[in-house]
Structure 1
Amino acid sequence: MNPSVDTRRDSRPTAPSQAPYLLRFESLFHSGRGLSFPCDAGGQVALDQLSEQARDNYLFARAVVGHEYATPVVQRCYG
């Protein structure tokens, strides 16, 4: 799966302890609702760093893209 990258934001620096990007799965049925996971600039999520519940949510969201969630978008995080 190749997530699209949201390039509409400026590039302010972030704190080193924060993940600089989020992979956002937007709900197709509930505007403004969705799931977000820390990732790198390419949209790669470190599964081994997620809690069990977050990992389950991530795998579910990936499985239902196009049915429950839109194609994920990589978003830059700002402190």
Structure 2
Amino acid sequence: MSTFADVAVSGRFQLRFQSLFQQGRALAFPCDAQGHVPMDDLSERARCNYLYARAVVGREFATPSVVRELG
């Protein structure tokens, strides 16, 4: 299982769920290069948002993509 420290060492990536209906709206979560999100390192709110986004892929959000963080 990845930890946030592993994510930081391997480079900074985000798993982005882009809204299907509102341009510019997305949910993004730290992940490794393969898209694995360290759920144990997320806050409760972020974890709930992540699980929600996964549940509504294809209905509210597009299939997520792994992107390198800017900056």
TM superposition score normalised by structure 2: 0.83
Gaps of 5+ in 1: 1-15
Deviation beyond 3 Å, 4+ runs, structure 1:
none
Alignment of 1:1-79 (within 5 A): 20-79=12-71
Structure whose CA Rg is larger:
1
Cα deviation for residue 77 of structure 1 reads 1.3
SS of match in other structure, 1:61: helix
Aligned residue identity for 1:23: L
Cα deviation for residue 36 of structure 1 reads 0.2
Gaps of 5+ in 2: 1-7
Q: 1-side partners of 2:70 and 2:62: how far apart?
A: 23
Higher RCO, Cα 8 Å, sep 6+ = 1
**CA RMSD, 1 decimal:** 1.4
Q: 1-side partners of 2:59 and 2:52: how far apart?
A: 11
- Between the two proteins, the alignment pairs up a number of residues equal to 63
